[in-house]
Structure 1
């Protein structure tokens, strides 16, 4: 009898563990990730060496199960977000991942352009086509297109840029039909779609597809960045610093371990990111000496101010440095002893 009760108890515990692990909640949980050296990921042909290192900081994120949901409520630096705060409307996991990887690609290319211009090196772009980022459910495109498809033409007009597609479709009205030529897995297909109102925006007409222009960046000397499966645009600043440091004789690291985060645009402006506290913790654990944080022009609740608060809370000796532009970071490093 006792054996049967024991077996039932073990089975119940096992069932609860399986349920708690594999049952997914409508939340994402984020936590401190890692701070990894950029030099193994970034290679400028014939680039200069460095004594210290620039580091890429990450945040770990996944859909919450029962255990991670409870732990997030107990941990100060684990955060919960509703799915609709992370994904766009009607975006599935595959589309979200694809969008994040494409954002990383764009971030890398922008970082390279900023670094090469700063170093007075040649840089240009070569378009590779227009691609689908994600498709809205219950819209015309959902029947034919999916994330990753290349849009070749619309009504027989070749597409080289996403803006061409957007402008053409925006000139249409409800009920108009357009013929889309697209490629998937190397095979070219054609579909005729009828423009319709968006489900929650009756005054907005379209096909229900988000698109982007994909392109290669051409540089002299050549540069290669291997970001594997890292997604999102938040490493732009650090990629730009690593590329620039390999292009110029002066070693900006001067032997320091330098972490940081922030998006970057083609003008070298640094933008805010999510998970700044978690990235400060990751950099601290990796032994960074300096951490660059987006200053947001001194905004009341800027990334920089949150980073300073977190640094004080965890008792790190790492110096938190505010930056609004790529030049801010370069000038700070140039003044280091």
Structure 2
């Protein structure tokens, strides 16, 4: 093979590899992530120490290229999801990331509240405003507002809570006009928008906004949770357990490595999450002894049942424990030897 032909083939191969790597398909691929100790991320001022560990489990996720797309078809626990099953309608990558991080913030606040309530410790909320999570493409707000904007007022009424905005707009009908005052990069602006039907739900009208209340939780003693760039609400249960364990004298870990997952609401109810099998694998690889999985009140295809199936498939000795509430997890740990 002469030198010129060799160089030509090398260039072609390099271009093909670059194409396969950097050309993104309209899919997201997920795979097992990590299981990390929560103690370095969570600190209650003056809190009690623990002999074991509570662990945060994650799923690795990214937009599929040709390599990861093909790998997902041959790897049992790598999964593909069409983009429209992950992102909301008209949502950009930036808006999706912003929404996930805001959901994590809400999850942390709720977890802290659940733990402090259980430990009979005082806490309160300080609202910081109403913010846009994402905007539906083609709806009235799409040409004016964007993810991260603060909604200051609607028709002159100041907004302190997202529910105030939702209730006000829900009382309007198609063609009604509302004046929105919003803040972006520190500058306050005003726009008048006309309510319109949603593209796929003609019976429902609105501006095409998903909003949330940004707030801080004020606790005694103070608590700090650092979640870096981890997004989503699925760590709620484990955050609550870690905070609660630092608030009470009894060490619920009893020397065990305890992983798990599940959303949590203010009533302590644990909800299902995505990627349960991948999180079981991550916990197993990290050497966890126990894994809490949302039971979904015994539903036929619950997270718990999928977790049990995966644990059996990978041959782990890790105990899979079903939980419907925060109290379920606490009571299980209290009974451990």
* TM superposition score category, shorter chain reference: over 0.9
Q: Is the 8 A contact 2:101 2:230 kept in 1?
A: yes
The equivalent residue for 1:163 is 163
Shift of 1:199: 2.2
1:35-81 Cα distance to aligned partner (Å, 9 max, x none): 01100100101000001110000000000000000000010000000
Query: Aligned partners of 1:201, 1:327: CA distance in 2, in Å?
Result: 39
Larger mean CA deviation between 38-47 and 303-312 belongs to: 303-312
Q: Which residue of 2 aligns with 1:205?
A: 205
Match of 2:277 in 1: 277
2:113 aligned with 1:113, yes or no? yes
The reply to whether residue 53 of structure 1 matches residue 53 of structure 2 is yes
Question: In the alignment, is residue 30 of structure 1 matched against residue 30 of structure 2?
Answer: yes
Partner Cα separation in structure 2 for residue 331 and residue 20 of structure 1 = 50
Instruction: State the alpha-carbon separation in 2 of the partners of residues 136 and 271 from structure 1.
Output: 26
Per the alignment, residue 220 of structure 2 pairs with 220
Matched-pair contact (CA < 8 Å) for 2:88–2:136: no
Aligned to 1:292: 292
Q: Does 1:231 align with 2:244?
A: no
Do the aligned partners of 2:127 and 2:160 also contact (CA within 8 Å) in 1? Answer: yes
Q: How big is each residue's C-alpha offset from its partner over 1:147-183, in whole Å with a ceiling of 9 and x where there is no partner?
A: 0100000111101111111121122222222111111
Worse-superposed segment, 292-301 or 110-119: 292-301
Structure 2 residue matching 1:245: 3-state secondary structure? helix
The Cα of 1:302 is off from its aligned counterpart by 1.1
In angstroms, what is the RMSD of aligned CA positions?
Answer: 1.0
Is 1:241 matched up with 2:247?
no
Q: Which residue of 1 aligns with 2:301?
A: 301
| Other-structure match for 2:150 | 150
In structure 1, C-alpha distance between the alignment counterparts of 2:193 and 2:16, rounded to whole Å: 48
Aligned partner of 1:188 in structure 2 is 188
Deviation at 1:201, TM superposition (A): 2.5
- Aligned pair count reads 337
Please give the secondary structure, in 2, of the residue aligned with 1:250.
coil
Distance 1:73 1:197 in 2: 39
- Secondary structure of 1:117's match? helix
2:59 is aligned with 1:69: no
Match of 2:314 in 1: 314
Partner of 2:15: 15
Alignment pair present for 1:332 and 2:332: yes
Partner of 1:79: 79
Listed as ranges, the gaps of 5+ residues in structure 1 are: none
| Aligned residue number for residue 257 of structure 2 | 257
TM-aligned CA deviation for residue 208 of structure 1? 1.1
2: CA distance, partners of 1:166 / 1:155: 13
CA displacement at 1:140 relative to structure 2:
1.4
Gaps of 5+ in 2: none
* Secondary structure class of the residue paired with 2:259: strand
Q: Secondary structure of 1:96's match? A: helix
State the distance in 2 between where 1:163 and 1:328 align.
30
